[in-house]
Chains A and B, each alone.
Chain A
Amino acid sequence: AQRVTQPEKLLSVFKGAPVELKCNYSYSGSPELFWYVQYSRQRLQLLLRHISRESIKGFTADLNKGETSFHLKKPFAQEEDSAMYYCALVYNQGGKLIFGQGTELSVKP
């Protein structure tokens, strides 16, 4: 069955420290994976998608099919990165996303 797991509910780091938000997936097909972010009082928005291999706001994520992971990384965290982050997997077709439970990132000064 399809599943997305984000093992950490809360991740707290200091400004300037590296950040890695973990995401593991379970899917028998070829996965399409996304990271969404929700800043305080704002709507859920797409951060990046693995298919475009882009870097947004300094964040990158590499799909590792061997480890079935799509961890989100940033070398130097900023306070404005504090938000809720969701990893998501598309299954079947279209935008039928399966979301992980989400990880709250708190970047302290």
Chain B
Amino acid sequence: SQTIHQWPATLVQPVGSPLSLECTVEGTSNPNLYWYRQAAGRGLQLLFYSVGIGQISSEVPQNLSASRPQDRQFILSSKKLLLSDSGFYLCAWEITETQGPFFGSGTQLSVL
């Protein structure tokens, strides 16, 4: 069966520090991969999606970037974190378009 792993579960980082959140999917190949963020008091917002290795699309301009170095690995990064980057980050995967993505357990990022 397919599983999705996301780590770390919580992260506290100072302003200006770099960020790397990792997500891996097991039990499937060539999935679509997604990064979502839920800021405090707001709904879930799509940040990046990827349909294949090295193919990244950004949905909103921001201080973050994403990379997909391997088929089942999706990384969210920042060179210098801002206070506004705080939030709950979710990775998701899907195979079929009408299936609806399956989500990881999320990373709570606090930038202080």
Residues of A in contact with B (beta carbons under 8 Å apart): 4, 32, 34, 36, 42-46, 49, 51, 86, 88, 90, 93-102
A-B contact pairs, 8 of them (CB 8 A): A4-B43, A42-B105, A43-B103, A86-B43, A86-B44, A95-B34, A96-B59, A97-B46
**Least CB distance, B92 to chain A, in whole angstroms:** 7
How many B residues touch the partner, as a band? 20 to 34
Q: Is the CB of B43 within 8 A of A102?
A: yes
Q: How far is the CA of A49 from the CA of B99 in the complex (A)?
A: 8
Q: A44-B44, A49-B98 are in contact. List 4 more A-B contacts (CB 8 A).
A: A43-B103, A43-B106, A44-B90, A45-B102
Does B49 belong to the interface (CB within 8 Å)? yes
Chain A contact residues, majority secondary structure:
strand
Q: Interface readout for B4-31 with A: 1 if CB under 8 Å, 0 if not?
A: 0000000000000000000000000000
> A34 to chain B: which residues have CB within 8 Å?
100
Q: How far is the CA of A74 from the CA of B98 in the complex (A)?
A: 24
> A88 to chain B: which residues have CB within 8 Å?
44, 100
**Residue of A44, A93, A102 touching B97 (CB-CB under 8 A):** A93
Q: Is the CB of A49 within 8 A of B49?
A: no
In this complex, which of B43, B51, B102 has the most chain A Cβ atoms within 10 angstroms of its Cβ? B43
> A51 to chain B: which residues have CB within 8 Å?
98
> A42 to chain B: which residues have CB within 8 Å?
105
The 9 A-B pairs at the shortest CB distance, nearest first, are namely A99-B44, A95-B101, A44-B103, A99-B43, A43-B105, A95-B94, A101-B43, A34-B100, A46-B100
Q: Is the CB of B32 within 8 A of A94?
A: yes
In this complex, which of B90, B100, B104 has the most chain A Cβ atoms within 10 angstroms of its Cβ? B100
**Least CB distance, B42 to chain A, in whole angstroms:** 7
